[in-house]
Amino acid sequence: MSLILEDVDLQVGREMHIDRASLELAPGSFNVLLGRTLAGKTTLMRLMAGLEMPTRGRIVMNGHDVTRLSVRQRNVSMVYQQFINYPGMTLYENIASPLRLAKVDQEEIDRRVHETAEMLHIEHLLERYPLELSGGQQQRTAMGRALVKDADVILFDEPLVNLDYKLREELREELRTLFAERHCIAVYATTEPSEALSLGGHTAVLHQGQVLQYGPTEEVYRWPNSTRAAEMFSEPPMNFLDGEITDSSVIIGERYRLPDNAGFLHLPPGSYRFGIRASHISLIPNDDRDIAMDVRVDLAEISGSETFLHVHDQQSDMTVHLAGIHEFEVDDEVTLYFPVHKVYAFDAQGSVAHVPAYLGES
Amino acid sequence: MTNAKPTTPEAVNQQAAKEAARRRRRSRTALRRWRPKLLLGAYLLFVLLPIYWLLNMSFQSNSEILGQFSFVPQDITLEHYMKIFTDSSWYMGYVNSLIYVLINMLISILVALPAAYAFSRFQFIGDKHLFFWLLTNLMAPPAVFLLPYFQLYYTVGLFDTHVAVALAHCLFNIPLAVWILEGFMSSVPKEIDETAFIDGYSFPRFFVKIFIPMIRSGIGVTLFFLFMFSWVELLLARTLTSTGAQPIASVMTRTSTASGVDWGTLAAAGVLTILPGIFVVYFVRNHIAKGFALGRT
């Protein structure tokens, strides 16, 4: 079971909601669609489901062209961000409804509903009605309905957004194990890079209706193919500094001169944008070659046991992700260090030119 | 401070003047306190008393109605009610009214359900204008349409049938039903529809099994409004019928005969006309406010 999107466009009025999206989802894969709101995640899912027809392009499922087939003729299921259940039916009937419509016999329905409910830990609630339950339980019911039929493609449209933090973690973990032994294609939309990373599988980075990059999640994270993809797939976004590479030197932001052996000199000379991840900048040097930057603090945001430090120097604004709680006053002068071997370089068109070598860490 | 006993004559006088002023003020507030009761009394007198009077008269004999002025019937009689329930020309009036009202409710709801669904779920050219235009149908008094309806129905042989009145009442009842139902339908998330289609429901099956149960209070309220408007509409109903499908309100005008007006029977007929409305209101009393807001909360 594979799902292939070939140059799919969706035009509404004059706006391109999806712009030449091509994806090839492998059988049994877990895929994350990562992008900000309005990036086209939901629309792309609706196209995959058949709720929306593409303006141009082809959608091929398992070797068959399904571009013009409606939802009911494609074997898909979907879980929404809102908790969508049939309020007039018990949980049992809610989960059983796709099977009932598929004319599965009662014994089989009974077995599968109980099996699914058990997986989702809602077995004791089967006689209740959805609106009597908590949000987490309602969403589990919706997932149950999606999982109970052997759909070829299961689509999750930010299913955990409306749940509280703790529940989200819990359900996310369960979701991964649920899919480990299934052979269907799962597609999961999220706005959070960290969620994509923890879900693993493959990731497609979306921006303004375009698929910027698709590949195994970790690879996409480590080797972003453009400044956009790098920006989308890091939270807080990657910091970019303009710089120059000449025959003999690499200068970032006109001030920071990289040592010759940092691995950039093989690049053709010219203007580049250098990217540094927020989490790679630190308060103390880890290496003799680390570059020191003198910056001023705009804001120190403390979130849990982490600190997001917003700083600026003469040329650019940067965000630093520090472990632990650090308190800074506005306008404090700080010296920060970034390691030269973790700097990305992008050419003038925004395509990646240099990716730092990773030694098992991220 | 005011509780302290005054010690000088001037202070005593001052305090006495203050007390007097306070007493005057309090007498003013007494009037203020009575005002709501007066207003309520006026309301009861002018609005509700006639209804009581109707009930009162329906239990009095005609001679008592004309002969004396009594707040309660001196000897209660059910002769007027007996007359209505035994004389077929009387009770057929109720039957006719009920028949065309029910036919109208059926037609209106069956047409309005899909129409309201379309308005709430789809975008099509001119949908907003069409939606507004529907409401404007409610704005013209039915008298305006009297002549064309009469002529058309007479020509096609619908004159003096229940269907004729039921169809004519669709003029204002279908727009009303579409408006109310559209509000209720729009409060159901579109994702429910999609989930149902993903699950494999066909559209008719989804509509009947899932969607209609979700808006059943809306349908109840709509039916109530349809009943009410069709039940009280008199002009079209009377013009489009003669004897075969004569509505009760039209029958009631026959009571002035050569021997004078049959007041008691008229009153009893009036009471019986109010009853169905009260009966129907009872069932939708909890949803009616939402219905008046056209389902938009």
Residue A81 in domain: yes
Domain that holds residue A270: 239-354
Q: According to the model, what pLDDT value does residue A91 have? A: 94
Asked whether the beta carbons of residue A88 and residue B213 sit closer than 8 angstroms, the reply is yes
Residues of chain A neighbouring B191 (CB-CB closer than 8 A): 80, 82, 84
Q: Are residues A276 and A322 in the same domain?
A: yes
The two beta strands, A202-207 and A30-34, are parallel
- List of chain A residues whose C-beta atoms are within 8 Å of the C-beta of residue B195: 78, 80, 84, 142, 145
pLDDT for res B15: 86
Q: Cα separation of A44 and A33, whole Å?
A: 9
* Chain B residues whose beta carbon lies within 8 Å of the beta carbon of residue A101: 199-201
Is A360 among the domain residues? no
Q: Kindly report the nearest CA distance between residue B199 and chain A, in angstroms.
A: 5
Same domain for A251 and A208, yes or no, is no
* Shared-domain flag, residues A222 and A330: no
- Look at residue A45 and tell me if it is in a domain: yes
Stated pTM of the model:
0.79
ipTM of this complex > 0.85? no
Contact B195 A82 (CB under 8 A): no
Is A56 in the same domain as A131?
Answer: yes
In a domain, A359, yes or no: no
pLDDT along chain B (297 residues), means of 10: 69 86 75 83 89 89 81 85 88 92 96 94 86 80 86 92 92 90 90 92 93 89 90 88 85 72 86 88 77 63
Task: Give the domain ranges of chain B.
Answer: 9-43, 88-292
Residue given tokens 């009947």 in the structure block: B208
- Contact flag B199-A76 (C-beta cutoff 8 Å): no
Predicted pLDDT of residue A171: 85
* Domains: count for chain A: 2
Shortest CA gap B203–chain A (Å): 10
- Chain B residues closer than 8 Å to A70 by CB: 197
Q: Are residues A104 and A203 in the same domain?
A: yes
CATH assignment of the domain containing A281: 2.40.50.140
Identify how many contiguous H helices and E strands chain B contains and give both numbers.
16, 2
In Å, what is the CA distance from B270 to each residue of A101, B72, B78, B276?
53, 18, 14, 11
The distance of A173 to chain B (nearest Cα, Å) reads: 24
Judge if A138 and A160 occupy the same domain. yes
Q: Distance, in angstroms, between A181 CA and closest chain B CA?
A: 22
Are residue A19 and residue A113 in the same domain, yes or no? yes
A258: helix, strand or coil: strand
Neighbour tally for B226: CB within 10 Å? 27
Looking at the structure, tell me whether residues A80 and A190 fall in a common domain: yes
Query: Per residue of chain A (362 residues), what is the pLDDT tens digit?
Result: 789 999 999 998 888 899 889 999 988 889 999 998 888 899 999 999 999 899 999 999 888 899 888 888 888 999 999 999 999 899 999 999 999 999 999 999 999 999 999 888 899 999 999 999 998 899 999 999 998 988 889 999 999 888 888 888 888 888 888 887 778 899 999 998 988 998 888 999 999 999 999 999 989 998 898 888 888 888 888 888 888 888 878 888 777 888 776 677 778 888 888 888 888 888 888 887 888 888 899 988 888 888 899 998 888 888 999 888 888 888 888 888 888 888 888 888 888 888 887 654 44
| Closest in A72, A82, A145 to B189, CB measured | A82
Of B196, B200, B213, the CB nearest to A102: B200
Distance CA A117, CA A111 (A): 10
What is the rounded distance in angstroms from the CA atom of residue A343 to the CA atom of residue A204? 23
Main-chain phi, psi angles of A46, to 5 degrees: -65, -35
Final residue belonging to a domain, choices A182, A197, A229: A229
Question: Among A229, A262, A280, which residue terminates a domain?
Answer: A229
pLDDT score of A172: 86
- Residue B191 has its nearest CB partner, among A70, A77, A82, at A82
Q: Do the chains contact at A86 and B210, CB–CB below 8 Å?
A: yes
Chain B residues closer than 8 Å to A72 by CB? 197-198, 200-202
CB spacing of B197 vs A84 below 8 angstroms: no
Residue B180 to chain A, least CA–CA distance (Å): 21
A188 and A51 in a common domain: yes
With residue A292 as reference, give the H or E element that holds it: strand A291-303
Residue of B nearest to A145 (CA): B199
Mutate to test the interface with A, among B188, B190, B195, B210 (most CBs of A within 10 A): B195
Q: What is the pLDDT of residue B3?
A: 60
Q: Mutate which of A73, A101, A156 to disrupt the B interface (most B C-beta within 10 Å)? A: A101
Alpha-carbon distance of A43 to A33, in angstroms, equals 11
pLDDT of res. A98: 93
CB contact under 8 A, A82 and B210: no
Q: How far apart are CA A234 and CA A194, in angstroms?
A: 8
Q: Are residues A243 and A225 in the same domain?
A: no
Residue at A361 is within a domain: no
- Which run of H or of E encompasses A10? strand A3-12
Rounded distance, CA A206 to CA A219, Å? 16
> Do the beta carbons of residue B59 and residue B73 sit within 8 Å?
yes
Supply the pLDDT for residue B258.
63
Contact A101 B189 (CB under 8 A): no
Q: What is the structure's pLDDT at A361?
A: 46
User: Which among A71, A82, A84 is the nearest to B197, CB-wise?
Assistant: A71
pLDDT of residue B119: 92
Question: B168-183: per-residue pLDDT in tens?
Answer: 999 889 998 998 899 8
Contacts of A42 in chain B (CB under 8 A): none
Looking at the fold, whether A113 and A245 belong to one and the same domain comes out as: no
Q: A229, A249, A278: which is the final residue of a domain?
A: A229
Contact of A243 with A273, CB cutoff 8 Å:
yes
CATH of domain B88-292: 1.10.3720.10
- Dig out the tokens for B202 from the structure: 């066909």
Flag whether A234 is in a domain: no
**Sheet with strand A64-65: strands edge to edge:** A15-25, A3-12, A56-61, A64-65
A300 & A224 share domain: no
CATH number of the domain enclosing A76:
3.40.50.300
The per-residue DSSP string of B58-108 comes to HTS-HHHHHH---SS-SS---HHHHHHHH-HHHHHHHHHHHHHHHHHHHHH
Summarize pLDDT for B193-245 with one digit per residue, the tens: 999 999 999 999 999 999 999 998 889 889 988 998 999 888 889 889 888 88
Residue in A82, A84, A95 to test binding to B, most B beta-carbons within 10 Å: A84
